[in-house]
Amino acid sequence: MDTDSFDSLPEVLQELYINMQDDLYDGLKDEVADATTEALEQWGQTPGQILQRGLVAGMDIVGQDFRDGILFVPEVLLAAKAMKGAMEILRPLLTDAKDVQRQGTVVIGTVKGDIHDIGKNLVGMMLEGAGFEVINLGINVDAEQFLAALREYNADILGMSALLTTTMPYMRTVIQRLNEEGMREQTVVLVGGAPLTEAFAEDIGADRYCEDAAVAVEAAKVFMEMKKRDS
């Protein structure tokens, strides 16, 4: 979180965000939803600000305590449900692409063996808001499912997410299958997820590592511009 800008917020709004983080930690879905609505309607906060200052910041604390053995899967599941509830409130604002130029089609999914989907869904929503058609294949997606969807929707971009060090190598398998099927040239491959790095993305032959949803949107737009220019 950008602490400078957080510190300059009115104290009551800072408190709202801190309570939102605490309630997310405690898995209190209704309270997190109410705080999200209050931040939007009474404080004019943007979805991006609410995500960064409240929801993602709260989930970071959950992640640290999960790692340190203070929280366990059931508690983290409740926190994830609370976060997803708040994301549903933000969804219409993030996906509204009325005045936006239509872009290309993106197939996105969390790779085989991995069920983390909060970040991937956020990326999907923000891509929709930027004018992309998004085909979200969900979680635990294998290479053949990715390839079938790319063909079916004649997609421009493949977005893959992995949150586990044990599942991120599967991205290489998907890229290898794209190569084998002669589909790599026409498909831009974007990858993201907390354990990834730029070096890893380069090593597996992806086009770009996206550290967050905003970077994914920017990268997708740049690749579409390049594609239009070349065609």
Q: Give least dist CB 10 to ligand B1M, A.
A: 26
Q: Give least dist CB 196 to ligand B1M, A.
A: 7
Describe the strand order of the beta sheet including 157-161 as a list of residue ranges: 133-136, 105-110, 157-161, 188-192, 208-210
Using the rule CB under 6 A, which residue among 103, 128, 193, 201 binds ligand B1M? Answer: 193
Using the rule CB under 6 A, which residue among 23, 114, 128, 156 binds ligand B1M? Answer: 114
Are 76 and 113 within 8 A, CB to CB? no
Report strand pairing: 188-192 vs 133-136: unpaired
Q: Give least dist CB 112 to ligand B1M, A.
A: 10
Give the residue carrying structure tokens 């999907």. 124
DSSP 141: B
**Residue number, 35 or 79, with CB nearest to ligand B1M:** 79
SS3 assignment, position 171: helix
Using the rule CB under 6 A, which residue among 20, 28, 206, 216 binds ligand B1M? Answer: 216
Closest CA to 20 of 5, 34, 6, 3: 34
Residue count (the chain): 231
Give the residue carrying structure tokens 């929503």. 125
Find the binding residues for ligand B1M in span 63-102 (CB under 6 A): 63, 66-67, 73, 76-77, 80
Span from 22-30, 40-48, 113-121, 141-149 in contact with ligand B1M (CB under 6 A): 113-121
- The residues that touch ligand B1M, with contacts defined as CB under 6 A, are 56, 59-60, 62-63, 66-67, 73, 76-77, 80, 108, 113-120, 122-123, 159-161, 163-165, 190-195, 210, 212-213, 216
